[in-house]
Amino acid sequence: MYLNDPKDNKPSVSLTLMVLAGVALTIIGILDVAGVAKTTSVFPEVFYSSVALYFGRRFNISGKVISADKAEEIKEKLE
């Protein structure tokens, strides 16, 4: 059960991780302000890495788009 990516309307693991990490960061932040949580050091890193995973899926380097779909194209050519 994954969230659908708004770009291509396909299930996206990276978008799901980003949303879950954001929710966890918000809850832990509230608990930290309330004095219940002792440390929140790992949660920003998890959120930042999931954001980088989601937005870093497609890179545009010198006019060439490199994406996860490219791996499938290469695999089909090899078969």
What value does the mean pLDDT take over residues 10-17?
Answer: 88
Question: Whole domain around residue 25: which residue ranges?
Answer: 3-78
| Count of domains for the chain | 1
Contact present, 36 and 69 (Cβ < 8 Å): no
Predicted confidence band at 66 (pLDDT cuts at 50, 70, 90)?
A: low
pTM above 0.95, yes or no: no
User: What DSSP line would sit under 6-60, residue for residue?
Assistant: TTT-SEEHHHHHHHHHHHHHHHHHHHHHHT--S--SHHHHHHHHHHHHHHTSSEE
Cα-Cα-Cα-Cα dihedral sign, residues 8, 14, 18, 19: positive
Predicted confidence band at 53 (pLDDT cuts at 50, 70, 90)?
A: confident
CA distances 36 to 16, 41, 54, Å, are 27, 14, 31
Predicted confidence band at 58 (pLDDT cuts at 50, 70, 90)?
A: low
Report which residue type is found at 66. I
